[in-house]
Chain A
Amino acid sequence: NFMLTQPHSVSESPGKTVTISCTRSSGSIASNYVQWYQQRPGSAPTTVLYEDDQRPSGVPDRFSGSIDSSSNSASLTISGLKTEDEADYYCQSYDSDNPVVFGGGTKLTVL
């Protein structure tokens, strides 16, 4: 089994840019797609990125994703931060033996 490790929390000011990392413990991050989910308090998660860097319709282009094989990690970058972006963010991936693996989640505070 592999794990996905995220920072517990990040904070940034409105209008700024923040990046949340997701590091895979074993196996290549590039071998399987990474999805990112946003969960606001009291709500179910929703997808903000799938297939590493694809945005579902309705997700603003302030949200972007990337993969870095050298650090074996995926990243979610949110630019032009808004107070409404304050939420928990989870990365998720898989492999042939593990159909679903979630990261521990990152609490984004926009202050």
Chain B
Amino acid sequence: EVQLVQSGAEVKKPGESLKISCKGSGYDFTTYWIGWVRQMPGKGLEWMGIIYPGDSDTRYSPSFQGQVTISADKSISTAYLQWSSLKASDTAMYYCARREGVTLNFDFWGQGALVTVSS
């Protein structure tokens, strides 16, 4: 069974760093792209970036380029999303999702990780 399990909710202060994770199982983690999607409270889905764990090829949305870093450790089937200095506006739910290679559909999603940034 394909699963993406994300790390838990985080409460951080502005200026702090954070790295959240997304662990895949039930499939060959190295052969599917993993995307990250932000959903701010009461708002829609925003694509942040995507990584191919097989070779760590990474693409960022222009809106998020330079704001976050996406990485992956294929040895433990885990993708990461990290911030070096959080802002209150980073408060959101963050989803990882597997992108199917032929249809380009996000066919499996993680459960989401709520990040709250508040002083």
Q: Chain A interface (Cβ within 8 Å of chain B)?
A: 1, 33, 35, 37, 39, 44-47, 50-51, 54, 56, 88, 90, 92, 94, 99-105
A44 partner, pick from B44, B46, B109, beta carbons under 8 A = B109
State in angstroms the CA–CA spacing of A58 and B62 once bound together. Answer: 35
B105 within 8 A of partner (CB): yes
State in angstroms the CA–CA spacing of A50 and B35 once bound together. Answer: 17
Interface size on B, residues (CB 8 A): 22
State in angstroms the CA–CA spacing of A104 and B50 once bound together. Answer: 19
Report 20 cross-chain contacts, Cβ distance below 8 Å, ordered by A residue.
Answer: A33-B103, A33-B104, A35-B104, A44-B95, A44-B112, A45-B106, A45-B109, A46-B109, A47-B106, A47-B107, A50-B107, A51-B105, A54-B103, A92-B45, A94-B104, A100-B35, A100-B50, A101-B47, A102-B47, A105-B45
Q: Which residue of chain A is the closest to B35 with respect to CB atoms?
A: A100
Q: Which of B30-47 contact A (CB under 8 A)?
A: 35, 37, 44-47
The answer to whether A47 and B105 touch (CB under 8 A), given A1-B62, A100-B35, is: yes
B61 within 8 A of partner (CB): yes
Query: Could you say which residues of chain B place their CB within 8 Å of the CB of A103?
Result: 44
**Cβ–Cβ contact B103 & A50, under 8 A:** yes
Q: Which residue of chain A is the closest to B43 with respect to CB atoms?
A: A105
**Cβ–Cβ contact B44 & A35, under 8 A:** no
Q: In whole Å, how far is B94's beta carbon from the nearest beta carbon of chain A? A: 11
**Cβ–Cβ contact A45 & B105, under 8 A:** no
Q: Which residue of chain A is the closest to B107 with respect to CB atoms?
A: A47
B44 partner, pick from A50, A90, A100, beta carbons under 8 A = A90
State in angstroms the CA–CA spacing of A39 and B39 once bound together. Answer: 11
B54 within 8 A of partner (CB): no
